[in-house]
């Protein structure tokens, strides 16, 4: 099978959080995990999906009449029956005010590479490149391989952002075309990992061992960055940070220079509206951000327990408490786009 096309959610330019330098990040559709904190809920479903943006809607009902499947109704706003919707995009084409949007577009691999190469000048001046993210980057592995292969043959630095839920044969197919692996270790405890993401972390941890062993015997990938989301009441626990540090220490004995960075990414709630547009309830919609003191504390725990403290970084937005009125404001430090799939 040729796999010359794939479903891409978004191409994000000028990213500075998904690897070194200025990067263009390709968000693929489809993810095997169901993380309760998912920041890209629109990337989970592998198929294209429509969403309605209420503030743009002028209430003309053109979309309702145009839908060939009767999936739309208008009752104080547009309602999408997602059991019926086929993602055909007709409503998006006819809407006069861009209130209907299609999430996910089929791309030809060669056309995507051509599009990505438009940013080559930024990559060469900044030491950047292209990051394939998601969703889960390995979910459409054969398509992604074609894209990575073409990018590498054009001298572009490549990064693969993965949650580690995939076969080792898939990794073995992709890794030779990747400079940097961005790898999530979200939770060390198996039961909690199942509770938070829907799947065990056994495959995640085994696959990381596989990647480091692969790196010992091959030129590519050249480095791995571990990413841990700090989710209040979930993964943001001292025990979890200590246990992940322990795991990283064990891995560093396999390949001492392979893991060059461990990012602790603070929870943010910028994705709240995405859930609303998709008609989904989000368990963490009202969860407060970490305070700067909490983020610094987890960073200090990680540095204390990691055998190479220099690789530990923290990033993300934190909360400022107004002492007397207990009103939380957010202070933007930097946005972490760790693949919180």
Binding mask 33-52 for ligand SF4 (x = CB under 6 A): -----------------x-x
Contact between 58 and ligand SF4 per CB under 6 A:
yes
Q: How far is the CB of 146 from ligand SF4 (least distance, A)?
A: 28
Does residue 121 contact residue 21 with C-beta atoms inside 8 Å?
Answer: no
| 99 vs 311 by CB, closer to ligand SF4 | 99
CA distance 134 to 319: 27
| Beta-bridge partners for 116 | none
Does residue 130 contact residue 24 with C-beta atoms inside 8 Å?
Answer: yes
Selected from 8, 9, 44, 57, the binder of ligand SF4 by CB under 6 A is 57
For the chain, the residue count is 341
Query: CA dist 166 to 159, 229, 340, Å?
Result: 17, 20, 16
| Beta-bridge partners for 261 | 225
- β-strands 157-162, 129-133 pairing: parallel
Residues 62 to 91: which contact ligand SF4 by CB under 6 A? 62-63, 67, 69, 71-72, 78, 80, 85-91
| 61 vs 257 by CB, closer to ligand SF4 | 61
Contact between 59 and ligand SF4 per CB under 6 A:
yes
Tokens describing residue 56: 């743009």
| 100 vs 336 by CB, closer to ligand SF4 | 100
Q: How far is the CB of 61 from ligand SF4 (least distance, A)?
A: 5
Q: How far is the CB of 59 from ligand SF4 (least distance, A)?
A: 5
SS3 295: helix
What single-letter DSSP state applies at residue 56? G
Residues 6+ apart with CB under 8 A from 4: 108, 109, 110, 143, 146
Tokens describing residue 16: 């500075």
CA distance 299 to 311: 11
| 72 vs 230 by CB, closer to ligand SF4 | 72
| 62 vs 124 by CB, closer to ligand SF4 | 62
Place of tokens 């073409």: 150
Q: Kindly determine how many residues on this chain lie close enough to bind ligand SF4 according to the rule CB under 6 A.
A: 27
| 79 vs 313 by CB, closer to ligand SF4 | 79
Selected from 8, 99, 208, 301, the binder of ligand SF4 by CB under 6 A is 99
Selected from 44, 100, 112, 340, the binder of ligand SF4 by CB under 6 A is 100
Question: Where along the sequence are the contacts to ligand SF4 (CB under 6 A)?
Answer: 50, 52, 57-63, 67, 69, 71-72, 78, 80, 85-91, 95-97, 99-100
């Amino acid at each position: 099978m040729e796999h010359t096309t794939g479903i891409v959610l978004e191409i994000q330019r000028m990213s500075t959080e998904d690897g070194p330098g200025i990067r263009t990040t390709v968000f693929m559709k489809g993810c095997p995990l169901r993380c309760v904190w998912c920041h890209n809920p629109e990337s989970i479903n592998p198929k294209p999906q429509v969403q309605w943006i209420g503030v743009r809607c002028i209430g003309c009902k053109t979309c309702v009449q145009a839908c060939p499947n009767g999936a739309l109704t208008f009752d104080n706003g547009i309602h999408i029956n997602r059991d019926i919707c086929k993602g055909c995009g007709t409503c998006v084409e006819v809407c006069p005010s861009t209130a209907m949007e299609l999430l996910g577009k089929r791309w030809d691999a060669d056309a995507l590479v051509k599009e990505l190469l438009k940013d080559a000048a930024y990559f060469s001046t900044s030491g950047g490149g292209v990051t394939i993210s998601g969703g889960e980057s390995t979910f459409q592995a054969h398509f992604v391989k074609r894209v990575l292969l073409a990018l590498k043959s054009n001298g572009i630095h490549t990064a693969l952002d993965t949650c580690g839920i995939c076969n080792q044969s898939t990794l073995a197919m992709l890794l030779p075309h990747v400079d940097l692996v961005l790898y999530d270790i979200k939770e060390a405890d198996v039961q909690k990992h199942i509770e938070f993401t829907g799947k065990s972390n056994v495959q995640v941890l085994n696959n990381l061992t596989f990647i480091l062993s692969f790196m010992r015997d091959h030129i590519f990938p050249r480095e791995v960055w571990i990413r841990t989301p700090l989710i209040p009441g979930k993964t943001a626990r001292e025990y979890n940070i200590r246990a992940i540090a322990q795991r990283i220490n064990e891995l560093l004995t396999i390949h001492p220079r392979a893991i060059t960075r461990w990012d602790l990414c603070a929870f943010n709630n910028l994705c709240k509206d995405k859930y609303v547009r998709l008609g989904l309830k989000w368990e963490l919609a009202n969860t407060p951000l970490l305070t700067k003191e909490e983020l610094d504390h987890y960073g200090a725990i990680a540095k204390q327990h990691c055998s190479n403290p220099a690789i530990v970084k923290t990033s993300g937005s934190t909360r400022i408490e107004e002492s007397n009125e207990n009103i939380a404001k957010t202070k933007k430090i930097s946005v972490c786009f760790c693949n919180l799939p």
